[in-house]
Structure 1
Amino acid sequence: MLVIRPIIADDYSALMQCAEESGHGFTSLPVNEEMLRNRIAHSERSFAKHVVCPEDEGYLMVAEDTDTGEIAGTTAIEAAIGLEAPFYNYHLSTVVHASRRLGVHNTVQLLTLGNHYTGDTELCTLFLRTPWREGLNGRLLSKARFLMMAEHRHRFADVVFAEMRGVSDEEGNSPFWQWLKDNFFSIDFIHADYLTGIGAKGFIADLMPKLPIYVNLLSKEAQAVIGQVHDNTRPALRLLENEGFSCRGYVDIFDAGPTVECDVRNVETVRHSKRYTVEINDHHSEQQCLVANTSFTDFRAVASPLEVNDKAQTVVMTQEIADTLMVNTGEPVRFIEL
């Protein structure tokens, strides 16, 4: 069984293993000891912090296999991005160049650099290691964040978004970045992606073209991948689309992967999750649920069968599940039926 919990300092080696296995283009998990240790420390401070409204908190969690003690993956939420350092994106829009006198009418697309998501909440660092990519594990890793948001609403912004990894090959080469590199940057995609991951973003403002880019001036290869996702990212995108997320034309500035967003109030798991009290019994329910305790500093979430009584507003779980969630009879949990 996997349990989602806040990361601690002792998880550093496992986090580094996830970073190494995640591959190129996974900006939020750089293979850099200092950055990963700093991120763990920042997460520990964030979970312990008293929060009135979202600021620069970062909540990094891991999925622990309770049978082996191994770390199976990671998942995270950045409470409000772009407040300390600029957060850049491109917006893909359409403009019309027309002349009635000449009988010319051309529709063209533009990429415009901006900071649209400043202050919004970002979902990031969703990575599940290969041996655990089965059953409900992927959904647990993704949806646990929404159970947290539903229970602790004041810690997060009204809009939540996620950047999807764009198209790149096995060597980490991005067709979109190749065009930018040839014309503006002169550094490889892997290097640029790594610099962003460790927070060295100054080169973006220094070198990124400030004026809108006409898409039809890009290489055919670059045009073809705008708004497209990496094959390994398709399952994560489907999970978010099922939650109500959609792309409104914003794409990543490096690989042109789509950014998807949703109002927190409209996220399916947030809307349909329930807060019931616990009963403990050795039941044999077939109703699969994702369930989390209502603590923040000691947040726990698992996938488990529950016996749900809507009339009494109770859920019956085994002692093992209750112990994993750190809850007792009569205490509240938040869950979503699957």
Structure 2
Amino acid sequence: MLIRPVAIKDLDGLIALANEAGTGLTSLQPNREQLKARIERSIQTFRQTAEQADQGYLFVLADSNDEPVGVCGIEVALGLSTPWYNYRVGTVSHMSASLGVAQHVPTLFLSNDHTGHSELCTLFLAPAARGNQNGQLLSKSRLLFINVFREAFGQKVVAEMRGVSDENGLSPFWESLGKHFFSMEFAKADYLSGVGDKQFIAELMPKFPIYTSLLSEDAQAVIGKVHQNTAPARKMLEAEGLQYQGYIDIFDGGATLEAYIDDLRIIKESTNETAKPILEAETNTAELPHISYLVANQQLPNFRCILKRASSTAEASHLTDREFHLLNVDSKDTLHIVPLSPNIP
């Protein structure tokens, strides 16, 4: 499996992935024109010809036939061209000294607090490709990319997680809140936002704080929670240092995770190593080492990342002919390497 930049040839593959993803993955909608534009924007970003407000990287996880079986993305700076909305979960206190009553009510405040931050987005792996650490490769390769090209990104990174919805795509948070203001189904609002038509949010979203006690019990219960299929991705990102800080998606109430980029585990532990041919002794090893490493080149237009088993970071820099080809590097080129999981020496 290989992480590489998306290409125009991947359009049909992305359409197929979007259809598999279903409702709730806002930034991956089965709209051919929108996905083509997204691919072209990514190509311009890799070529460094896009303005900062329009920069967005898109990567695919390609199988042995170079067909996309997964997709992930990074938005460089949120909210610079169009507002980036979410809810901040806060508290409003109401007190009456004469009655001896004090009420502290959870409240949702419309927020643009993440303006200018970078975002991890558009993560989806085809069900047939799940397993063998492919999900971790797909998700965490973005953090390694951010570290390799650190100057291109801001101080913080956020990840808006898919919120709770049922097998029919119904979101209890939307049914109790958003539906009353937008007069449309959750799937349609999610679709419009995903294809870039976000003006309706500014026009129709309530500007005043929302008291969560006025929402249904089902809606209150999913605030800050994530879809069952997204729970592993949340756990993975939290292990890397991202945390829920009280911000949620305005449509489905899903948690938004965030962190200072320089505090992330992958940023702290990744190192540079020189690419070398694999040693003969390593090719004769009876069993593969059990430690997995992310190994990437340092080429912005032609970024590549693979997963490699090795006994140490130094050994992970020893490549087979196939790995040299996949990473598009020669002997003595610099590799960026980090253990796939935390707490690995």
TM-score tier (shorter): over 0.9
Question: Where does residue 55 of structure 2 map in the other structure?
Answer: 57
Kindly tell me: are residues 170 and 278 of structure 1, through their superposed partners in 2, closer, same or farther at Cα, counting changes over 3 Å?
Answer: same
Distance 1:29 1:101 in 2: 54
Change (3 A) 1:10 1:309: closer
List per-residue Cα deviations over 1:194-253 (Å, max 9, x = no partner): 000111111111111110001101111211111110001011101100001111100000
**1:118-166 Cα shifts (integer Å, max 9, x gaps):** 1110000111101111022111101111111111001111100000000
The separation in 2 between residues aligned to 1:77 and 1:27, in whole angstroms, is: 14
Spell out, residue by residue over 1:72-94, the C-alpha distance to the aligned partner (whole angstroms, 9 max, x if none).
10011000011111110000012
Deviation at 1:35, TM superposition (A): 0.2
* 1:188 counterpart letter in structure 2: E
Structure 2 counterparts to residues 1-338 of structure 1, below 5 A: 2-49=1-48, 54-66=52-64, 68-281=65-278, 282=280, 283=282, 284=285, 286=289, 287-306=291-310, 308=312, 315-338=317-340
Q: Structure 2: which 5+ runs fail to align? A: 341-345
Q: Evaluate the alpha carbon distance shift between residue 115 and residue 181 of structure 1 in structure 2; reply closer, same or farther with a 3 A threshold.
A: closer
Moved more, 175-184 or 187-196: 175-184
What is the rounded CA distance, in whole Å, between the counterparts of 1:43 and 1:91 in structure 2? 30
- TM-score relative to the length of structure 1: 0.95
**In structure 1, the residue corresponding to 2:318 is in which secondary structure?**
strand
Number of residue pairs aligned between Structure 1 and Structure 2: 333
Q: Is the 8 A contact 1:306 1:317 kept in 2?
A: no
* Structure 1 outlier segments of 4+, above 6 Å: none
- Cα gap change, 1:98/1:58 in structure 2, threshold over 3 Å: closer, same or farther? same
Residue 13 of structure 2 aligns with an amino acid whose one-letter code is A
Cα offset, 1:58, TM superposition: 0.6
Residue type of the alignment partner of 2:309: P
CA pair 309-115 structure 1, distance change in 2 beyond 3 A: closer
**Quick one: distance in 2 between partners of 1:181 and 1:126?**
24
- Secondary structure of 1:112 counterpart: strand
Equivalents in 2 of 1:139, 1:150: separation in Å?
17
Q: What one-letter code is carried by the residue in structure 1 that aligns with 2:112? A: N
Q: TM-score, normalized by length of structure 2?
A: 0.93
SS of 1:232's partner is coil
Quickly say closer, same or farther: Cα 1:320–1:108, change in 2 above 3 A: same
Structure 1 residues 261 and 106 mapped into 2: Cα distance closer, same or farther (>3 Å)? same
The alpha-carbon distance between structure 1 residues 229 and 309, as it changes in their structure 2 partners (threshold 3 A), is: closer
- Contact kept, 8 Å, 2:244 with 2:255, in 1: the verdict is yes
Equivalent pairs: percent with the same residue?
A: 43
- Output the amino acid matched with 1:128: L
Check conservation: 2:294, 2:308, Cα contact below 8 A: yes
8 Å Cα contact 1:306/1:316 also seen in 2: no
Describe the SS at the equivalent of 1:231: coil
Match of 1:302, as an amino acid? I
Call closer, same or farther: CA 1:309–1:142 in 2, change over 3 Å: closer
Gap runs ≥5 in structure 1:
none
Report the alpha carbon displacement of residue 183 of structure 1 after superposing the two structures with TM. 2.6
Superposed CA deviations along residues 291-333 of structure 1, whole A, max 9, x for unmatched, are: 10011110000001246465xx982121211111011111100
